[in-house]
């Protein structure tokens, strides 16, 4: 199995999908695959003209970046048979946006399970933000607002732990709400057997076969119930997360 799970598309003030470009390129290099099935369903509000227009715009935006890398995307929202399109895909990219919006549609179209099966068969999978969250067992560590109600919180479970994308250490000034760490600690109280990888911006996890590694320029913060959070660096052994 091959996974590229990216925390965030875009660092503040940088170009769209700027920092992950070399990592996407190296992930696809040597695969012989140029055509990627794109899943735009997390995209809400790229326009107010309805979902189709919003997904169209999302596709154009991502294509502009992938073209520079010599890659073509074809968005699944054009497909009359989305499950069939997944079954034929050699590579799949799931874009970020709202995780609930994404999960609702993946489940309703039956492609949550189809993508899982296809990736287990060897299709290359990349996702950023919400697209990384849905590779986890469930959506329960998303930061997104639950703007729609999906049939369930169940996701692909391609990895056995949860990612919290856009992990951040600080709270906005003057804000009395929970910090991200507190939120994750609450998740662990309710889900004691789970591990959570706080994936800071400009970082990613990559799985090659069963070998997991952290990439990017910052450490990852790992949370387990009843243990102090641990900082893990690129190069550290992460195999215990796959156990």
- Which residues contact a copy of itself by CB under 8 A? 8-12, 44-45, 48, 98, 101, 138-149, 152-153, 166, 168, 170-177, 182-187, 189-191, 201, 225-226
Active site residue 77: no
**In the bound complex, what is the minimum distance in angstroms from residue 211's beta carbon to a copy of itself?**
28
Closer Cβ to a copy of itself, 53 or 120, answer by number: 53
Q: Cβ neighbours of residue 12 under 8 Å, at least 6 residues apart?
A: none
Q: What SS3 state is found at 194?
A: coil
Of 20, 29, 21, the C-alpha closest to 2 is 29
49 contacts: CB under 8 Å, gap ≥ 6: none
Place of tokens 């990592």: 23
**Least spacing, CB of residue 187 vs a copy of itself, in Å:** 4
Shortest Cβ 29–a copy of itself spacing (Å): 26
By beta-carbon proximity to a copy of itself, the closer residue of 56 and 144 is 144
Question: DSSP label at 209?
Answer: T
Q: Assign 156 to helix, strand or coil.
A: coil
Q: Which entry of 7, 124, 132, 144 is annotated as an active-site residue?
A: 144
Active site annotation includes 138: no
Q: Which is nearer to a copy of itself, 44 or 83 (CB)?
A: 44
- The catalytic position among 54, 129, 132, 138 is 129
Kind of pairing, strands 195-200 and 220-224? antiparallel
Q: Which is nearer to a copy of itself, 88 or 169 (CB)?
A: 169
Provide the token pair at 213: 């590694």
Token pair 């639950």 is found at: 146
166 carries an active-site annotation:
yes
Q: 179 and 159 in contact (C-beta within 8 Å)?
A: no
Shortest Å, Cβ 70 to a copy of itself: 26
State how far the Cα of 60 lies from the Cα of 38, in Å rounded to an integer.
11
- Between residues 83 and 153, which has the closer beta carbon with respect to a copy of itself? 153
* Closest CB 84 distance from a copy of itself, rounded Å: 27
Known catalytic residues are 129, 144, 166
């Amino acid at each position: 199995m091959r996974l590229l799970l990216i925390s965030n598309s875009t660092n503040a003030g940088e170009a769209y999908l700027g920092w992950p470009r070399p990592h996407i390129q190296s992930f696809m290099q040597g695969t012989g695959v140029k055509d990627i099935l794109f899943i735009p369903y997390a995209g809400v509000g790229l326009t107010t003209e309805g979902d189709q227009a919003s997904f169209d715009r999302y596709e154009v935006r991502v294509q502009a970046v992938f073209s520079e890398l010599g890659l073509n995307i074809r968005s699944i929202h054009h497909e009359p048979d989305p499950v069939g399109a997944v079954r034929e895909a050699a590579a799949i990219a799931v874009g970020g946006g709202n995780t609930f919006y994404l999960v609702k549609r993946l489940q309703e179209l039956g492609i949550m399970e189809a993508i899982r099966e296809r990736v287990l068969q060897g299709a290359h999978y990349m996702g950023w933000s919400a697209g990384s969250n849905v590779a986890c067992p469930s959506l329960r560590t998303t930061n997104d607002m639950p703007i729609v109600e999906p049939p369930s919180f169940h996701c692909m479970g391609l990895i056995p732990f949860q990612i919290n994308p856009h992990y951040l250490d600080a709270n906005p000034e003057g804000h009395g709400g929970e910090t991200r760490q507190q939120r994750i600690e609450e998740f662990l109280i309710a889900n004691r057997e789970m591990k959570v990888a706080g994936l800071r911006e400009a970082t990613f996890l990559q799985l090659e076969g069963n070998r997991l590694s952290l990439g990017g320029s910052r450490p990852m913060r790992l949370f387990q119930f009843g243990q102090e959070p641990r900082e893990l660096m690129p190069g550290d052994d992460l195999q215990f997360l796959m156990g």
